[in-house]
Each structure stands twice: as structure tokens, then as C-alpha cells.
Amino acid sequence: MNNQLRPQGTSIKPSRFHLLAIFAIVAMAMFFITRLGLLCFSWPDTELSPVGVLQVFGRGLLFDAGFCAYALILPAIYLWLMPERIWRLRLHRYGMQVLTFASFYALTFIAVAESLFWEEFNVRFNFIAIDYLIYRREVTDNILESYPVIPILAVLLIITAVLYYSLRRHIARALSSQEPFSRRSMAAGLLLLLPIAAYSGLNQPLRTVSDNVYQNELASNGPYQFVAAFRNNELDYMQFYASLPPEEASALLRQEVIEPNATFLNNDLFDIKRDIVQNGPEKKLNIVLIMVESLSSDYLSFFGNTKHLTPNLDALIEKSLFFSQFYATGTRTTRGLEAVTLSIPPTPGRSIVKRIGRETGQWSLGNVLNMKGYQSFFIYGGRSYFENMGAFFSSNGYQIVDQTTVPNSEINFNNAWGMSDTDLYRQTIKVAGKSCQKGQPFFLHLMTTSNHRPYTYPEGKIDIPSGTNRAGAVKYTDHAIGEFLAEAAQQPWFKDTLFVIVADHQAGSAGKRALPIERYHIPLWIYAPHHIVPRQIDRLSSQIDIAPTLLSLLNMSYRSSFFGKDILSMAPDQERSLISNYENLGLFDGNSMAILSPRKRIRLQEKLASGQAIERPAQKTENLAKRDISYYQGAAYIFGHRLNAWQSPDNVITTSKD
């Protein structure tokens, strides 16, 4: 009778390892549904043909299986070694049921998390997701303020319950199985061969199915990429990228960074330290450098925006040196901070800011100005331990002012990321006033937070309610800058201050190409009505050029280890912009871009100025590719050998020519 009632297909002897098979089937189904959903969401950008769809899903299936192979290692060992007498205990069975339910819930949670991550970044989990895990407080608060978390979790609970209920009989059979150790050993041995096969056969280059970034990301697996990001936070340049003979690369790099008023100190390999000597007296002007979170160039009316989100910044264009062909080096805040502070190209992997233990003692703009008698501050709206910013700046010549150092009574509004821009600028006025009273010039490097999800800010400031969308956050950011400059104009230090406004990166970096140059375009203002004649600067440049340009405006002589150059004195054939993401390293000359990628690949994107972006493989003998290699090979060597370590002031040039 029992045999007659047994469901069809259950003649196979029950095994505790069937639990792992159930998990794997559910996981593969979830990954398929997630990939299909992301494909539908981004379909216009994928440019997929029917064959391409099959290729994406086929390659994705490999990574999905690879993740399952790794995820089942510990459970397989547990099921193998668990004695029968404990396996049959009712308490143990209840515990396994709870764990099985939790694993299903985790899979549904990952599917939703991937969808939300894709919505914001158009990629699978990567370094950013790791940051979100590490900096739990900021990220958790941000998520709670941005999404209806409780309803989402409740819906996931219902879905999981339905899923578990539909599989309950199969789960019960696996939990009621009796299996001798020899049989368990055979099953476990076979399962433990799978991660070995995954380790041998799967690698990051296998994700590349085309030159379309969306296709490559869809062919990936989110959890697999999350783990891979832990392993690949820094790439060995010489192992993964095209290189030139060191002497040739070093000579090319020197040609790139040399200026008429510069003299190299020696001929050592890749040592670009040089003395920059100016004519005439130095100008001890204060500097207030505002890095605005995600201030894309296309928010400005100047670049065609019709929503009038930035009236104050638009008006400031005609009062400033305005740089219209200026580019961010990366897609994350720490890349912008790295470039502006150290004037170094983005080395592959994480930014130097986040390379804990290796971020200290760098040749920074703050150190150079301190040597000239300045007080340098990093003023941040949030908590500076986030992304290791506090450790980076405090070990490279800056004093820290952030949410943890400001009395609560002086913070009128804050969200998950920190105090509002209004409160940040109020603290800036306070710090500048104290330095002014001491008669000491100051350099204040600000980092704002308000133009960031959940896009909340003080009510009543603008005509878009707080928390509505990014457009409101942009408009509030612009409003806060306008208020700050108006208040600063009333201060005694205003007339002797350079105000620098620049973005850390664009609001979105995703594109169809590996390095979509239009997603790195940002604005730069240098405003000092008593010292600078306003004009528009159309020279192609990037964030690594800010430090040398500011020091030139101050007419300072100094010793430099910077890669950047004074934008105002650049010759037309010297214009270039360095941009990157975590793996691709680009050099843009205004029309073409050379891109270095792992596996020593070199590509050339041509006719970018006309918007065509024709891409082809390139050789390292081509001029633009050689220039590209010299910058990034040199940056990796210099950072790795600490050739840009800060020297004591006694060894640094301090005088100008008369």
C-alpha cells in the first residue's frame, strides 16, 4: 500500500544529500529568474541578438553552477560527517528544516538585492557591494531611508513559505533518510570534486562575451562576483596588463609630465620627482575645495539641461575659470579623492584611499601646502571612517572635521550618509574663521553627501520635497553652494580665497562600452573674484591636474611627485584625460581612447568626438597605447616602490625665482 501511494519518481533511495540537490535546483532557478529580469530591465542597452541571448544565459549557467559548487562545500562536509544517531534526532531535524528555510529566504533576498544594486549601478555585485557590507551603519540607514524594507522582507517571507511548502515532502524524505558512512563518503567525494572543477575552469575573463558591458554583467553571477571582488581588490599590473620595457615606459612618462619650469632630480627608473620653479612672489591665498557628490556635467544648463536644477552653479560659470572639458578619473568617491589629493592615475583594483596599511605617507596636496605654512583640513559630511577616508587624510597631512567631531547641537539635519550640505558649509565657515584669526592660510578640502540616495535634505530650501528623487538632491546641493558663497562673501578671508568646485564622479557610470567617456565628464570651477579673471577653459584635462593647477595659480615653487600638470599652461598636444573603472585603464586624447584590460588586452576607441566610438584591437607599438601604458605602468611602479612617499620639508624646494 505504501508503495502504491509513493509519488512517481521516488524509487531512488532517499539521501540526506538530496537537501543539497534541492538547494542547488532552487538556487539555479532563482539565478535564472534574476538574469531574465535584469535582461528585461536593460534590454535596449544590451544590443543582444537571439544567439547572444543564448550565449549570455549559457555562460551565466556556468557561473551559477560555480557558485553552487562553492556554496555547498561546508554543507557537504557536514552531511558527510554527521553521525546517524544525531541525524535522526527530532531536534536536529527541526534545526535542518530551519536552515533549509533560511537558505531559501537568503536566495530570494539575494535576488531582490541584486535587482536594487543593478538599478543603481547597472552591474553585478562588485567592490561597491563589499563596501556596503563593511560600512554597515551608513548602508543600513541608507537602505532603510530609501526603500520600503519591512514590506519587501515580508513579501520575501511569504514567497519563501510558499516555496518551502511546495518542496516539503522532498525535504522530509531527505531528513528521514538512513545512509551508511561508506555511501555518504562516496556522495561527499563526488560533490567536493565540483568546487575543484569550478576553480580550474572558471575565471573572470570567461565573463567577457562581447564588448558590451551589459552583456558581460548579465553573463555573470552576483554572489560569485561578490566573492571574486574580495580576491581581486588590487591587480598586479605587470602580470595582467600590457607593458613596455621599463626604460622605455619611464622615458615616455617623463615626457608626459615634464613642463618648461620643471627640472627632474635624477634619472632613476620611473622617478618623476621634479622641482617646479615659478617667477615672482608666491600668493598665500586660502583654498576651499568643494568636492560635490555625483555632480554630473549634464545637470548644468551649460551642457544642455533644461530642468534648471543648478541656477547658482550656472551663474558661477561666467564669474570663474570654468573648465568645460574636464573628466573624473573613476566612478567612485575614493577615486576622485585619490586623484585630487595625490595627483596619481587610478591603479587597477581599489583606490589608494582604501588600501589599508599602504595609504599612508603619500605625496599629497595637503603635505605640499602644509610645508608652505598652511593648515590643511578634510571636512566631510559623514563619518570619515567610511571607506577609510579618515585614515587616508589624517596620514597624508590633513586634520579631520566630520560628523563625529561636530557637536550634535550644530547638526540641524542628517541622514544615513551624514549632515546636510548646509550644516557642512556652516562648519566650513567655522574652521576658516579660526584659521583666519590665527593669521594662517588654510586649505579646506570638503566632501559633500546630500546628492546621494535617499536624496533627503532640509525641507523648505527648494521647491522639490525632500526624498523625492535625485533631481531634488541636485537642486538642493546647488542651493546650499549658493548660500555658502553668499555667506563666505561676508567673511574677512573671502577676498583672499580660491573657491574650487568639482565633482567626485558622475551620478551614473554605466554604459554600453567598457569606458563610456561621456559618463566621466564633470564640471570644474575656480572662483576668486579678487584674483582671477573669468574665462572658459576648453583644454582636455582630468582630476589629477587640479593640484598642479592650483599651485600654479598661487605661483608656488615646490617639489612635485604629481602626475598632473598645470591645465592653464598645457600645450594642445599635451591635453589628455585618464579614466578607469576597476579593471579597464584608459587614456583619452579628445578623439580616441586607448584602453588597457587584463590578459594584456589593448583596445582603441576611435572617432569619440563624433560620437561613433568605433572600437578595434590595438598594438602596444601604437602611439596612444604607448602613452597609456607609460602612465599606468609608471603609476603601479611608483606606488609599489613608494617613489611618491612624502619627503621631509627640509628636502623640498621652498623658494621662487625673483
Grid coordinates given for 138: 551608513
**Residue 543 vs residues 92, 109, 349, 481, 593: alpha-carbon distances, Å:** 59, 38, 18, 20, 17
> Is the previous residue joined to 454 through a cis bond, with omega within 30 degrees of 0?
yes
The residue count of the chain comes to 658
Cα separation, 593 vs 616, in Å, equals 11
Give the CA count within 13 Å in the CB-facing half-sphere of 129. 23
**Residue 8 vs residues 3, 218, 236, 430: alpha-carbon distances, Å:** 10, 37, 55, 77
SS (H, E, C) 443-478: EEEEECCCCCCCCCCCCCCCCCCCCCCHHHHHHHHH
- The list of the chain residues with pLDDT below 50 reads 1-7, 9-10, 654-658
216: closest CA among 351, 347, 46, 87?
Answer: 46
Grid coordinates given for 343: 595627483
SS (H, E, C) 128-173: HHHHHHHCHHHHHHHHHHHCCHHHHHHHHHHHHHHHHHHCHHHHHH
Contact 366, 398 (CB under 8 A): yes
Contact 165, 104 (CB under 8 A): no
User: CA triplet 167, 169, 174: central angle to 5 degrees?
Assistant: 100
Cα separation, 378 vs 376, in Å, equals 7
416: closest CA among 149, 150, 135, 139?
Answer: 139
- Chain Cα centroid distance, residue 328: 12
Q: What is the pLDDT of residue 658?
A: 41
Grid coordinates given for 76: 557537504
pTM: 0.77
Cα separation, 630 vs 611, in Å, equals 27
Residue type, 373: G
Residue 186's H or E segment, with its range, is: helix 181-201
480: closest CA among 510, 505, 501, 496?
Answer: 501
Q: Which CATH number fits domain 240-651: 3.40.720.10, 3.30.200.20, 1.10.3210.10, 3.30.565.60?
A: 3.40.720.10
The dihedrals phi and psi of 362, each to the nearest 5 degrees, come to -90, 160
Tell me the per-residue pLDDT of 30-77, one tens digit each, with 9 for 90 and over: 999 999 999 999 999 899 999 999 999 999 999 999 999 999 999 999
Cα separation, 582 vs 209, in Å, equals 18
Q: What is the pLDDT of residue 213?
A: 83
Indicate the domain borders of the chain: 12-231, 240-651
